Each structure stands twice: as C-alpha cells, then as structure tokens.
C-alpha cells in the first residue's frame, strides 16, 4: 500500500466496512453524474471527435495508436472526476500518463514484490518500488490542489463533477473532519486515473492489433457496422444489433487478458476447499490469464476466433469463463464504464478508419512465428545473462532472515557483517548463511576478500527501511 502510505484508503486498497461504504458511495455518485447513461456516451463521443482531429493528418502513414487511445480513455475518467480535460500537447499530461503506466506495471503479477513486498529491500532495482513512489509523490499534490480549488469554488453554475459530489456527501455525513475525506478522495483519484489509462486503452490497442493481423475479421465487423448503423453515431444500446462486434471485443479481451491477475482477495475465515486448508488471512489470487488460456475449455485458446462467442443463429453467447473484470464481490468497480468506452470507441474507430500493419511489422501473433523485414527468421542473440551467485548483507537480523529464507531455495550463499541473531546460527535452516566477526574494520576487509575470492564482478546493496532513534542526551 505504498500509494496510500500504509493506510487503507479509497476502494482498491481498502477492505472491511470502509471499503464497502466507499464502494457504495462511488456507485451512487456515478449514477448521479449520469455515468450509466447518455452523459457518459456524450463524453466518449466528444473525446472520439478530439481523437479523430488529431489522427486525420496522419492518415495513410504509420501511427502509434497508444497515445491517442490513452488520452481519449483517460480524459473520459478525468472529466468525470475533476470536471476538466487533459491537454494532449502538455508535457505535464505526458508525464502523468507515463507515471501511471509505470505504477500499473509495478503492481503487476510479473513483479514478485506484489506478493512478497519485503523483496524490495533485496532487489531495489528490479522491484519497481520507486515507480510507485514517483506516481504517489506526483499525484498527491496535484489532487490536493484540485480539492482545494473545488472547496474554494463559489459559483456552482457549471455541472458538478465527482469531486464536488464526494466532498458534499462526506461533509454532510462525516463527523471525523475533512482530512480523512480528502485522503480517501486522493486514493480514489489515483485508482481512477491508473485504471482508466491502462485497462480500457490497452484492451482497445489489442483489439486493433488483432484486427490488423486478421483483416478478414476486420472487414466483417465493418460490414456489420455499416449495414446496421448506416453512418449514424454508435451508442451502447446498439450492442444487441452488432453481435459480431460484441464477439470481437469479447475475444480480444480473452486473448489479451490485459489484467492477467484479478484484485487480490483475502480469506476472512478458515476454510477447506477440495481437501486443501486455507487459513484465515490467506491472500487468494484469481489467475485470469490461466482461465482465459485453458485449453480444456476453449480448445484453441491461442487463436483469435470471435465465432466462439456466437451461437449458430449468430447471437452472442455468454461464457462464464470470460472474466476480464475479475470475479466475486470485488469485481472491477468501473466495469460498466469500461464496457461502454470499449464498445463505443471501437465501433467509432472501425466506422471511420481501416487499420493495416505498417510495412515490415510483425505478420503473425497467433502462433509465435515471426519474420524480419527481409523475410528471414529472427535469430536469438548470444548474450550472457546476469545471475545472482551470492549476496552480501544485510545488516539487521530481521532482514537477513527474510533474505536467507529466500536464497536457501536456490542454494545461493549469503554473507552478513552485523546480523547477530542466534537464530541464524542454525545450519539446518540457514546452511548457506555466514557472517563475519568481529564487527569492526576487519569485517570490511573480510567482505572485500570474499568478493575477490569468489570473482564477483557486481555487488548490489540490500536496502533496509529503519528508523534510528538518538540515545538519551544525544543531540
């Protein structure tokens, strides 16, 4: 919970009564803002028009769609939350989007620190912990300033936004003061920005990529759109009349699995499942990618085949194994908003543009067969990968024990110079751990000799978060 400084705030990084209270409040305020109806669709249409104006000068030339999709998707959320738009030409906007993307990647399941937070002390360079700090330290003052401006705003002639409604609601019901309300609102702001930027736009990007790789499917979807809409602007209620487009979006969501792992759950009581005991407090992770790539259910999970979501009559066939927004009571809070954005933006894009691969780009993404621009097969470079052959540190016994428990799994030696816990003397448990004594200048010489003798060429520092308290009488 780096973003919330260890506190349970907002919705995503919260649990218990506070979580459900905030969740219900968010849903209530979104309904008041009309975000389950025409207001949302009008905002999406407006952002699409802005995107088209930026794209038209580049028609017929290679273009990176990521920025256009990111800006359109996040502006829908940002306008709802703050009442203002982000300028795509502003360096601050680019920085905000970059920081949010890095933070989202840092929280991914590919990062072991997500499950074992203490690993950030062992692998500071690879833990992406710094990305979360940069995101938090950049967005906190921005959101605090916006909250202050909303509180000071006297005229209410402009339509209210989420901040207006949230502050008014909490001020009328919260007796604990405004500081706690602001902390929750800041956490929600970071949640909305990060999720709105990384999920909707990346799913759309994957959809376009898959359609580029399968031009026949793209043509079929465009023919359905032209036949049904006849040039009219799409709206979310058109879904039932565009079953093949729906199937394309469902299949793209399955293949992409943009969120490969759902929001972590936690067992609130001791339970038994299929003979396995799950103690209270155990973190439970839903592996969405594994469900979406299960050959036993899908048959050919690595093929892009929208027809799997259509019946013989051409109607949409729902499948409970498709869960791009998670599952359970903590399913994605913005599911309805995201589905509306995905459908309206995708149909609007296919209605106005035809997408094709740039010359020399990848020709196939289904079976992993790639070609270079000259038609030859790519060759794997001969390179030496960095490996961890040994660890020096840490100083405190608590950290050394945590590190040793991990390293012993891989039989990696560890040498420490100030960890004096008797527990570390157990060679049955810590057979790969050793320490230098005495703890004076000789330990430095000893450490250097060890590094030289083992012929190590790289040494990484183990970072520790400690608080030092001065002794009585010290200044």
Same domain, 190 and 97: yes
Last residue of a domain, one of 325, 352, 379: 352
User: What is the SS3 string spanning 106-145?
Assistant: HCCCCCHHHCCCCHHHHCCCCCCHHHHHHHHHHHHHHHHH
* pLDDT classification of 458: cutoffs 50, 70, 90: low
The reply to whether 43 falls in a domain is yes
Same domain, 208 and 341: yes
Task: Report the share of the chain in percent with pLDDT over 70.
Answer: 76
Same domain, 175 and 242: yes
Distance CA 433, CA 400 (A): 9
pLDDT for res 446: 65
How many domains does one find in the chain?
A: 2
Same domain, 443 and 302: no
* pLDDT classification of 107: cutoffs 50, 70, 90: low
Same domain, 331 and 442: no
The reply to whether 226 falls in a domain is yes
The reply to whether 434 falls in a domain is yes
Same domain, 223 and 281: yes
Question: Does the annotation place 59 within a ligand binding site?
Answer: no
User: What is the SS3 string spanning 210-277?
Assistant: HHHHCHHHHHHHHHHHHHHHCCCCCCHHHHHHCHHHHHHHHHHHHHHCCCCECCCEECCCCEEECCEE
The reply to whether 371 falls in a domain is no
Same domain, 24 and 105: yes
Distance CA 334, CA 325 (A): 9
Same domain, 328 and 261: yes
Q: What is the pLDDT of residues 366-413, one digit of tens each?
A: 544 555 656 666 565 555 455 666 777 666 777 778 788 778 777 888
Which stretch of DSSP H or E encloses residue 391?
strand 391-392
Same domain, 396 and 338: no
Selection from 237, 221, 263 nearest residue 353 by Cα:
221
Same domain, 197 and 345: yes
CA distances from 387 to 67, 162, 390, 457 (A): 36, 49, 9, 11
Range(s) of the domain holding residue 316? 16-352
CATH number for 100: 1.10.630.10
Same domain, 269 and 178: yes
Q: What is the pLDDT of residues 225-272, one digit of tens each?
A: 999 999 999 999 999 999 999 999 999 999 999 888 887 788 889 999
Same domain, 348 and 395: no
The reply to whether 63 falls in a domain is yes
The reply to whether 264 falls in a domain is yes
Give one word for 5, left, alpha or beta, with left for phi > 0 and alpha for psi -120 to 50: left
Q: What is the pLDDT of residues 305-343, one digit of tens each?
A: 999 999 999 999 999 999 999 888 888 888 888 999 999
The reply to whether 150 falls in a domain is yes
The reply to whether 360 falls in a domain is no
Last residue of a domain, one of 322, 352, 382: 352
């Amino acid at each position: 919970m780096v973003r919330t400084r260890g506190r349970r705030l907002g919705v995503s990084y919260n649990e218990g009564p506070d979580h459900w209270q905030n969740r219900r409040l968010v849903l209530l305020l979104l309904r008041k803002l009309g975000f389950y109806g025409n207001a949302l669709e009008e905002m999406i249409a407006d952002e699409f028009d802005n995107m088209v104006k930026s794209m038209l000068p580049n028609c017929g030339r290679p273009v990176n769609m990521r920025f256009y999709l990111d800006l359109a998707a996040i502006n829908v959320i940002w306008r709802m939350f703050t009442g203002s738009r982000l300028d795509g030409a502003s360096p601050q906007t680019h920085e905000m989007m970059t920081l949010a993307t890095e933070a989202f990647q840092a929280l991914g399941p590919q990062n072991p620190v997500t499950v074992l937070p203490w690993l950030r002390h062992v692998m500071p360079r690879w833990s992406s912990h710094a990305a979360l700090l940069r995101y938090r330290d950049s967005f906190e003052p921005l959101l605090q300033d916006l909250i202050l401006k909303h509180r000071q705003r006297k005229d209410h002639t402009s339509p209210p936004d989420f901040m207006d409604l949230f502050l008014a609601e909490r001020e009328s019901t919260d007796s604990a003061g405004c500081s706690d309300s602001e902390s929750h609102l800041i956490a929600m702001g970071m949640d909305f920005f990060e999720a709105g930027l990384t999920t909707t736009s990346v799913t759309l990007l994957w959809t376009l990529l898959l359609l580029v790789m399968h031009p026949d499917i793209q043509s079929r979807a465009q023919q359905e759109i032209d036949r049904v809409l006849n040039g009219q602007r799409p709206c979310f209620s058109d879904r039932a009349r565009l079953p093949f487009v729906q199937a394309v979006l469902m299949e793209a969501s399955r293949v992409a699995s943009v969120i490969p792992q759902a929001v972590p759950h936690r067992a609130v009581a001791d339970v038994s499942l299929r003979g396995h005991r799950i103690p209270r407090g155990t973190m439970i992770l839903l592996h969405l990618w594994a469900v979406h790539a299960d050959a036993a259910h899908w048959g050919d999970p690595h093929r892009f085949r929208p027809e799997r979501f259509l019946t013989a009559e051409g109607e949409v066939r729902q499948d409970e194994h498709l869960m791009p927004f998670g599952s359970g009571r903590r399913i994605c809070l913005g599911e309805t908003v995201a589905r509306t954005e995905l459908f309206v933006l995708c149909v609007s894009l296919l209605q106005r543009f035809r997408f094709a691969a740039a010359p020399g780009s990848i020709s196939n993404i289904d079976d992993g067969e790639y070609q270079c621009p000259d038609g030859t097969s790519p060759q794997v470079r001969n390179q030496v990968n960095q490996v961890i052959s040994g660890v020096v540190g840490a100083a405190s016994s608590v950290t050394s024990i945590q590190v040793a428990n991990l390293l012993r799994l891989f039989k990696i030696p560890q040498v420490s110079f100030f960890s004096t816990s008797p527990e570390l003397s157990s060679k049955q448990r810590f057979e790969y751990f050793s320490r230098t004594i005495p703890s004076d200048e000789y330990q430095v010489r000893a450490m250097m000799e060890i590094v030289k003798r083992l012929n190590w060429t790289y040494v990484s520092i183990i970072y520790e978060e400690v608080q030092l308290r001065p002794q009585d009488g010290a200044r």
